Amino acid sequence: MEIKTFTLENFDFKKCLENLKIEQIEFSDINGNCQGYAIPKKQKIAISKLAANPLKTGLHEVAHCLLHSEEALLGDSLELSKSIKEFEAEGVAYIVSTRLNLGGLEYSRGYIQNQQNRLHCFSL
């Protein structure tokens, strides 16, 4: 069986937010290490002007809104640990970023591995 691959051409992040009814707000976190954040219950995201890869960060935050709000479109449970939520959101961002041919995937793989390691530590 042949697996077909595809790329997303002409991807428009603003249109994505519009279609998903997610609002991008001004970034106001004072944590210098924070690239972005989501407020899933309000369907809002913010991306730091200093984010290394703003589009990938935006995709990560969109995933939080889709997976981790009370009215989550795809969520199984609202009782997830922060590590599981981060693992899920970065996994989505990684897959979509791959299809968009974005850079920064090495960082993304490391971030996913770090969350996986945290999950493994807590499950022992």
Question: Rounded to an integer, what distance in angstroms lies between the CA atom of residue 20 and that of residue 6?
Answer: 22
pLDDT of residue 4: 67
pLDDT of residue 124: 42
Q: 43-84: per-residue pLDDT in tens? A: 999 999 999 999 999 999 999 999 988 776 555 555 778 888
Taking the complete model, does pTM exceed 0.75, yes or no? yes
pLDDT of residue 121: 59
Q: 5-25: per-residue pLDDT in tens? A: 666 778 899 999 999 999 999
What are the residue ranges spanned by the domains of the chain?
13-123
Q: 30-47: per-residue pLDDT in tens? A: 888 899 999 999 999 999
Contact predicate 36/46, CB 8 Å: yes
pLDDT of residue 114: 83
Long-range interactions of 8-11: CB distance < 8 A, separation 24+: 8/96, 8/99, 8/100, 11/100
Q: Kindly report the number of other CB atoms within 10 A of residue 82's CB atom.
A: 9
